[in-house]
Amino acid sequence: MSQLQEMEKRLADGQREYVLDVKTQDMEINMGPQHPATHGVLRVVLTADGEVLTSATPYVGYIHRCAEKIGESVDYKMFLPYTDRYDYLAAMNNNVGYCLAVEKAGGIEVPPRATWLRMIICELNRIGSHLIAFGTYGLDLGAFTPFLYGFREREWVMSLFEKLCGARLTYSYAYPGGVINDAPEGWLDELLRFCDVFDKKYQEYDALLTRNKIFIERTRNVGIVTKDQALRYGWTGPSLRASGVRFDVRESQPYLFYDQISFDVPIGRGEMGTTGDCWDRYYVRMLEMLQCTRMLRQCVERIQADTTPGEFLTKLKNYRITPGEAYVGIDNPRGELGHYVVADGKDVAYRIKIRGPSFCNLSILPEILPGAMLADAVAIIGSMDIVLGEVDR
Amino acid sequence: MLSLLVTLGAAQQVGSTVENPETGILEGIFDGWFGDTFGPLVSAVLGLIIVLTLCSLLPMFWTWAERRIAGRIQQRPGPNRVGPFGLIQALADGIKLMFKEDIIPTQSSRFLFMLAPGIVLAGTFVAFGMLPLSPSVIVVNTHLGIYLITAFLALDAIGVIMAGWASNNKWSILGAMREAAQMVSYEIPLGILFLMAGVTYGSLNLVDMVAEQEGGLFGIGQWMLFRFPPFGFIGFLVFYVAILAEAKRAPFDLPEAESELVSGFHTEYSGIRFSFFFLAEYAAMFLLSGVAVCIFLGGWNLPFISGSFWRDNGMFGELLAVISMLFKSFILVFVMLWLRWTLPRIRVDQVMSFCYKYLTPAAFACLLAAVFWAETKV
């Protein structure tokens, strides 16, 4: 009798769609913090009924490095290298976002050449970051080769950055007041060459993964995030746009010179399944890479036409910023990266708050993982393209 | 090792019921010295040594080949430092694995944990005994050829489940369960296609099957691939997909699935025990490809060469037959490697539905076609 009642309760819950004739127990599995598919030290405690997940709880904070607190202890210039390190795949975007916030708080003028260079590095880094997203997503789903194809082009991006500022991963290139040095000779021409080659190589990615039948079957109608859900969880970036929301900070609240160039904002259309599924999230990133090369070409054209070489930094005696506060949100490869700077007249910020896109996007996991299969969990986490360095900061 | 001997001895006992047992590689040679009882066993042991050598050398070659091919596909060199073209890399890896610490988790079921790799390896290696490489290079020539091969390969599933269970690791047990489901499911289309072969050739012995495929149009007309068009070809495709799943190769590598289950059932294994699983996987790849060649691709038969060529030229014919057989199997194994480095992995429910919705009905269609064709011929 009691067993029957238990069955009824389970059905009324809606948790189980079937009645079991044997007593089974859900298995609790720790996915991470050391797991190949969690893209860092994310720990998700899953309960699974066979291969079907019944609940998921993400635990974050394994590489918390007190980025915000450090921002309140060291001066404005010295915090710059720390911005490289929270989203290490998009260090350029982080630098730019932080510098924009400091400049807005302090009313610092930036020469136009520096602004164009900043746009170039932002979009170039977006390509680099999306290539990692593309490659590791293939890796998550068991396809090894796209990863190395992606790295082939990423290597060129890295070497372009190396020529620009000497570093390959943590650049600290943008600087409050401009950028640390001008583009070396021939660098802009090489950039144009890269754009041409990249557009060709993009076809290979499409053939290898995007249109692969198995890949489509693995990602379509998996991990669907509706428009409503995405907005409720504060999603931003390509993941939000994949759910059909046309929101891009570059378009809605243009910073730098994004209002002076033309670009499209790709949004998810549910081409292969439902709008907001894993395939859409993946494909929006792929389309964004093409937009990046389109923007890069325009930027190079404008920087060569409108600016004089050598004017790349407003030199300031000190960075003692008058009391005030500023928030600047930029669109980094994972979504809206916000920096909120409160200045109190010293050369150290009173408060720095960072709004990380990966952290906000990650919070949806407990809602969309239950009901998916274990292999889908990997596909879903991979499709959100999170960087744990930025989640934990 | 003991289990190897016992199983092979059993196979030999079954094999001794063959009516014309003169075709085995060493059969009959020792009967005069050791009598009818022990003679077959001695010849089996010696044959086993040959098989073991082959089984250990081929996977070593294939690990090297896989890494070179993967390198080629992924635009990187692959191992090229140890020996010419990196050929000795596999040996170096083997030595490294042998000297590594053999870690047995304290919470594991110790006995089963240690036994599992042996069972996986034994199952695959013994199955080699029934695979002919030429008309007479075969350890155990029995009427039950492919039947025994499937039986011994099924040991593989037991070993894997044992490994997953004994590891006391949740990811391992998930991998083991996947393996169990996958192996049992894909043995169905495989078994049906074995039946098709049995119906077509009137024998379950692989040597007889190859003999049945001699001659025909251009010397290839009698290959199963070109019989009952298009069912022979469909049968081959189904068979190939099924052996991919049986050998746990991509896109059916769910039991291992690095990115999902860390390493699946062999997560907790290290050193030489890990290499047992590795060897068994590569040996199974080659073995199943060999079976596919024997059933569908005419074994050692080549176009424009008459079937009697292999038998009439003594050692030379046998040697050429071995080379032809190895070459054909290598092509099939190469395609396996190629697929592995190109395709993503299928999800577990898709693996099951693919098997039951498409492969099994297709295999049945092939069996029916073979039955009706055979019926109308007679």
Do B342 and A143 make contact, defined as CB atoms within 8 angstroms?
Answer: yes
Residue with tokens 């997203």: A133
CB atoms within 10 A of CB A235: 27
Residue B312 predicted with pLDDT over 70: yes
Confidence at residue B2, expressed as pLDDT on a 0 to 100 scale: 44
Q: What is the pLDDT of residue B85?
A: 84
Question: What percent of the residues of chain A are helix, what percent strand, and what percent coil, each to the nearest 5?
Answer: 50, 15, 35
- CA-based R_g, chain A, Å: 23
The total of other beta-carbon atoms located within 10 Å of residue A21's CB is: 8
User: Which DSSP string do the residues of A172-217 spell out, in sequence order?
Assistant: --EETTEESSPPPTTHHHHHHHHHHHHHHHHHHHIIIIIT-HHHHH
Q: Is residue A27 classed as helix, strand or coil in its secondary structure? A: strand
B250 touching chain A per CB within 8 A: yes
For residue B32, the model assigns a pLDDT of: 59
Q: Alpha carbon of A356 to those of A187, A234, B27, B364: distances in Å?
A: 31, 11, 73, 56
d(CA A131, CA A68): 28
Dist. CA A282–CA A206, nearest whole Å:
11
Give phi and psi for A342, each to the nearest 5: -110, 120
Residue found by looking up tokens 């393209």 in the block: A385
pLDDT mean over B114-120: 89
Structural domain span for residue A172 = 62-353+377-392
> For chain A, what's the residue count?
393
Query: What is the Cα–Cα distance from B324 to A313, expressed in whole angstroms?
Result: 71
With beta carbons under 8 A apart, name residues in chain B contacting A30. Answer: 170
Within-domain flag for A362:
no
In this complex, is the C-beta atom of B339 within 8 Å of any C-beta atom belonging to chain A?
A: no
Most confident among A192-206, B76-90, B147-161 (mean pLDDT): A192-206
Min Cα–Cα distance to chain A from B173, Å? 10
> Which pLDDT band, with edges at 50, 70 and 90, does B75 fall under?
confident
Q: What is the ipTM of this complex?
A: 0.80
Partner-chain residue, chosen from B74, B250, B347, that has the shortest CB–CB distance to A373: B347
Contact B345, B250 (CB under 8 A): yes
Please indicate if any CB of chain A lies within 8 Å of the CB of B67. Answer: no
Query: Is residue A162 assigned to a domain?
Result: yes
CA distance B70 to chain A (A): 8
Alpha-carbon distance of B354 to B376, in angstroms, equals 32
Q: Do A374 and B75 touch (CB under 8 A)?
A: no
- Is A159 a domain residue? yes
What is the residue-wise DSSP string for A140-179? HTT--HHHHHHHHHHHHHHHHHHHHHS-SS----EETTEE
**CA–CA dist A249, A336 (Å, integer):** 7
| Tens of pLDDT, residues B241-281 | 999 988 888 788 887 777 777 777 888 888 888 888 888 88
Buried b (16+ CB within 10 A) or exposed e, B62-98: bbbbbbbbbbebbeeebbeeeeeebbbbbeebbeebe
Contact (Cβ atoms closer than 8 angstroms) between residue B206 and residue B287: no
Check residues B28 and B366 and name the one with the higher pLDDT: B366
Q: Which residue of A has its CA nearest to B346?
A: A214
Distance CA A70, CA B334 (A): 55
CATH, residue A110: 1.10.645.10
Rounded Cα distance between A121 and B296, Å, is 57
DSSP label at residue A322: P
* CB contact B75 to A (< 8 Å): yes
Measured in angstroms, the CA of B167 and the nearest CA of chain A are apart by: 15
> A203-212, A252-261, B36-45, B145-154: which range is least confident on average?
B36-45
Predicted pLDDT of residue B151:
86
| Concatenated DSSP letters of A221-249 | TSS---HHHHHHTT--HHHHHHTT----H
Tens digit of each residue's pLDDT, chain A (393 residues): 344 445 545 555 555 545 556 667 788 888 878 888 778 888 889 888 878 888 888 898 888 888 888 988 888 888 889 988 888 888 999 999 999 998 888 888 888 889 999 999 999 999 999 999 999 998 888 888 888 898 989 999 999 999 988 888 888 898 888 888 888 888 999 999 999 999 998 988 888 888 888 889 888 888 888 899 899 998 998 999 999 888 888 888 888 888 889 989 998 888 888 888 899 999 999 999 999 999 999 999 988 888 878 778 877 777 777 888 899 999 989 989 999 999 888 888 888 999 989 988 888 888 888 888 888 888 898 888 888 888 888
In this structure, are residues A246 and A284 in contact, taking their beta carbons and an 8 Å threshold? Answer: no
Q: What per-residue confidence (pLDDT) applies to B12?
A: 52
Dist CA A258 CA B112 (whole Å): 64
3-state percent breakdown (helix, strand, coil) of chain B, nearest 5: 70, 0, 30
Compute the residue count for chain B: 378
Task: Please give the pLDDT value at position B335.
Answer: 92
Q: Does the residue A26 lie in any domain?
A: no
CB B159 within 8 A of CB B191: no
Among candidates A29, A208, A375 on the partner chain, residue whose Cβ is nearest the Cβ of B170: A29
Asked whether residue A150 is assigned to any structural domain, the reply reads yes
User: Taking all residues of chain B, what is their mean pLDDT, rounded to a whole number?
Assistant: 81
Query: How does residue B11 score in pLDDT terms, banded at 50, 70 and 90?
Result: low
Q: Is residue A335 part of a domain?
A: yes
Residue B376 pLDDT: 66
pLDDT of residue A392: 86
Residue A138 burial by CB count (10 A; 0-12/13-18/19+): exposed, middle or buried?
Answer: buried
Nearest CA in chain A to B71: A145
**Domain annotation covers residue A349:** yes
pLDDT at B17: 44
Please count the other Cβ atoms lying within 10 Å of the Cβ belonging to residue A212: 20
- Write the pLDDT tens digit of every residue in B182-219: 888 898 999 899 888 888 888 888 888 888 888 777 77
Domain membership of residue A234 (yes or no) is yes
Nearest CA in chain B to A49: B174
**pTM of the entire structure?**
0.84
Integer Cα distance of A237 and A245 in angstroms: 10
Work out the minimum CA distance from B378 to partner chain A, whole angstroms. 43
**pLDDT at position A127:** 92
Banded pLDDT at B9 (limits 50, 70, 90) = low
Higher per-residue pLDDT: B18 or B115? B115
**In chain A, what is the greatest distance between 2 CA atoms, to the nearest angstrom?**
85
- For chain B, what is the largest distance between any 2 Cα atoms, rounded to a whole number of angstroms? 64
Total tally of structural domains belonging to chain A = 1
Task: Provide the pLDDT confidence category of residue B28 given band limits of 50, 70 and 90.
Answer: low
Q: Are B140 and B44 in contact, with CB atoms under 8 Å apart?
A: yes
**Best to test chain A binding among B76, B254, B345 (most A CBs inside 10 Å):** B345
